[in-house]
Structure 1
Amino acid sequence: MGFPGTWMTESESVVYRVVPKCACSTIGQIMFYSDHGEFFDGDIHDAQDGLHKWSLEHSQPKIESNVKAHNSYAFTCVRNPYTRILSSFFDKICGIQRNGRRYRGNMVPLLIQRYGIEVGDPETGFEFDQVQSFRRFLLFARDTIRWRRPMEPDIHWSAMSGHVSTFIVNGGRYDKIIHTEAFNDGMQQVMDAIETPQAVDLGDIPRFNESEGHGPKRAHPVEDYFDDLSMHLVYEIYKRDFDLFKYDFDNPGNKMPIGEIDLDEVHAKLGE
C-alpha cells in the first residue's frame, strides 16, 4: 500500500502526511517555500514538481526509503471533527469547485434526490436552510462511512484517524501531530526541529485556503448545526478522532483541543 497522501520536500528536510481539510494547502506551500524560497503558483495540490508526493510515481521510492528508515522529521495536522465536517459540507457539497463545476459531478444531484439536501445557488446568493441541509448531509456522510452506500466515503469527511493510520501501519512514525486550531505554535515547533534550505518566517506566511470564496458563508455559530441526533452521528463517525486528538465532543462550540496529543497512544492504537 505504501504511503498514500504523503508529501516530502525535495531536500528531504521534512515528511508530511496530508489530512484533508486540515490546513494542508498552507502546509504544502510552507514546505515548497522552505526548499525554493517562493510559493507554488497555484493550488499546491496541483503541483507536479518541486515537492515529492506519493501520487507521483517518481517520488514513491524516495518517500518509501525515507519514511521506513525515519530519516526525516515526520508530522501531520488534525482539526476539530465538528468544524472539519462543517467545512467539508460548505466546500465540497455547497461550493462550486475550481473547475467551475460541482464536486464529483453527479454526487450533489444524488444528495438532493435521496437525502433532500439543498445547496443553494451562486446566482441567488446561496440562500437555503443551512442547518437542515447540513444535518441531512451528516446522514449521508454516516451512510458512506458505515455502509459504503450510496458511495465510498470521500477523503474530505472520512475520519482523520484513518488518514493518519496508513502512515503508521505501513512503517512510518510521527514526530509531531499539530492542531489546526493552534497552527502557528505547532508549525513553529516543526520548523524549529528541522533544517531547511530557505528560512521560513511563519509570521509572513499567508493562509492558503483554496476552498474559500466559492461557496456559501456559514450563517450560524458551529453549535447551531448540531442537535442531539447530529452529535450522535458525529460521535458514531469520529469517536476515535475525538479521543486520540483530544477534542471536546460534549461542546460543539469549543473548537479548541482539550489536551495534548499522546504520540505513543496514537501509534499504539492506530498501528494495530
Structure 2
Amino acid sequence: MGFPGTWMTESETLVYRVVPKCACSTIGQIMYYGDHGRFYDGDIHDATEGLHKWAFERSQPRIAAVATGRRAPAFTCVRNPYTRILSSFFDKICGIQRNGRRYRGNLVPLLIQKYGIEVGGPDGREEFDQIRSFRRFLLFVRDTIRWRKPMDPDIHWSAMSGHVSTFIANGGRYDGIVWTEAFDEGMQGVLDAADLPHDVDLSAIPRFNESEGHGPKRAHPVEAYFDDLSMHLMFEVFHRDFQLFRYDFENPANKMPTGEIDLDEVHAKLGD
C-alpha cells in the first residue's frame, strides 16, 4: 500500500501526511518555501515539481526510504471534526470549484435528488436553509462511511484517523501532530526539528486557503448546525477523531483541543 497522501521536501528533510481540510495548502507551501526560498506559484496541490508526492511514481521509493528509515521528521495536521465537516459542506457541496464546475460532477445533483439538500442555487450565492441542508448532508456522509452507499466516502469527509493510520500501518512513525487551531505553535515545533535549506518565518507566511470563496459563507455559529441527532451521527462516524486528537465532542462551540495528543496512543490504536 505504501504511503498514500504523503508529501516530502525534495531535500528529504521533512515528511508530511496530508489530511484534507486541515491546512494542507498552507503546509505544502511552507515545505516548498523551506526547500526553495519561494512559494509555489499556484495551488500547491497542482504542483508537479519542487515537492515529492506519493502520487508521483518517481517519488515513491524516496518517500518510502525516508519514512521507514525515519531519516526525517514526519508529521500530520488535524482539525476539530465539527468545523472540518462544515468546511467540507460549504466548500465541496455548496461551492463552485476552481475549475468552474461542481465538485465530482454528478455528486451535488445526486444529493439534491436523494437527500433533498439545497446548495444556494447554481453559483452557491442564493439564500437557503443552511442548517437543514447540512444535517441532510451529514446523513449522506454517514451512509458513505458506514455502508459505502450511494458511493465510497470522499477524502474530504472521511475520518482523519483513517488518513493518519495509513502512514503508521505501512511502517512510518509521526514525530508530531499539529492542531490547525494552534497552528503556528505546532508548526514551529515541526520546523525546529527539521533541517530545511531555507528558514521559514511563520509570522510572515500567508494562509493559503485554496477553498476560500468557493461557496456561501457560514451564516450561523458552529453549534447551531448540530442538534442531538447530528451529534450522534458525528460520534458514530468520527469518534476516534474526537478521542485520539482530544477534541470536545460534548460542545460543538468549543473548537479548541481539551488536552495533549498522546503519540504513543495514536500509534498503538491506529497501527493495527
TM-score clears 0.5: yes
Q: How big is the shift at 1:93?
A: 0.2
Q: Secondary structure at the match of 1:7?
A: strand
Q: Secondary structure at the match of 1:161?
A: helix
The question of whether the paired residues in 1 share the 8 Å contact of 2:124 and 2:216 is answered with no
Amino acid in structure 2 at the alignment position of 1:260: E
The question of whether the paired residues in 1 share the 8 Å contact of 2:124 and 2:215 is answered with no
Count of residue pairs brought into register by the alignment: 272
Which 5+ residue runs of structure 2 have no aligned equivalent?
none
Q: How big is the shift at 1:147?
A: 0.1
Q: Secondary structure at the match of 1:255?
A: coil
The question of whether the paired residues in 2 share the 8 Å contact of 1:92 and 1:103 is answered with yes
CA-to-aligned-CA distance 1:156-191 (integer Å, 9 cap, x gap): 000000000000000000000010000000001111
The question of whether the paired residues in 2 share the 8 Å contact of 1:122 and 1:215 is answered with no
Change (3 A) 1:183 1:170: same
The question of whether the paired residues in 2 share the 8 Å contact of 1:3 and 1:166 is answered with yes
Q: Secondary structure at the match of 1:83?
A: helix
1:156 aligns with 2:133: no
Q: Secondary structure at the match of 2:50?
A: coil
Q: Give distance in 2, aligned partners of 1:58 and 1:151.
A: 31
Q: Secondary structure at the match of 2:249?
A: coil
The question of whether the paired residues in 2 share the 8 Å contact of 1:93 and 1:119 is answered with yes
Amino acid in structure 2 at the alignment position of 1:150: P
Structure 2 counterparts to residues 1-272 of structure 1, below 5 A: 1-121=1-121, 125-272=125-272
Q: Give distance in 2, aligned partners of 1:82 and 1:214.
A: 19
CA-to-aligned-CA distance 1:43-71 (integer Å, 9 cap, x gap): 00000010000001100000011111010
Amino acid in structure 2 at the alignment position of 1:110: L
Q: Give distance in 2, aligned partners of 1:21 and 1:124.
A: 19
Q: Give distance in 2, aligned partners of 1:71 and 1:192.
A: 15
Q: Secondary structure at the match of 2:211?
A: coil
Structure 1 residue runs of 4 or more that deviate by more than 2 Å after TM superposition: 121-126
Q: Secondary structure at the match of 2:38?
A: coil
The question of whether the paired residues in 2 share the 8 Å contact of 1:25 and 1:44 is answered with yes
The question of whether the paired residues in 2 share the 8 Å contact of 1:126 and 1:215 is answered with no
Q: How big is the shift at 1:122?
A: 5.8
The question of whether the paired residues in 1 share the 8 Å contact of 2:75 and 2:177 is answered with yes
Q: Give distance in 1, aligned partners of 2:189 and 2:168.
A: 21
Q: How big is the shift at 1:194?
A: 1.2
Q: Give distance in 1, aligned partners of 2:175 and 2:124.
A: 47
Q: Give distance in 1, aligned partners of 2:126 and 2:268.
A: 44
Change (3 A) 1:11 1:111: same
Amino acid in structure 2 at the alignment position of 1:127: E
The question of whether the paired residues in 1 share the 8 Å contact of 2:95 and 2:124 is answered with no
The worse-fitting range, judged by mean Cα deviation, of 121-130 and 70-79 is 121-130
Which 5+ residue runs of structure 1 have no aligned equivalent?
none
Q: Over the residues paired in the alignment, what is the CA RMSD in angstroms? A: 0.8
TM-score by length of 1: 0.99
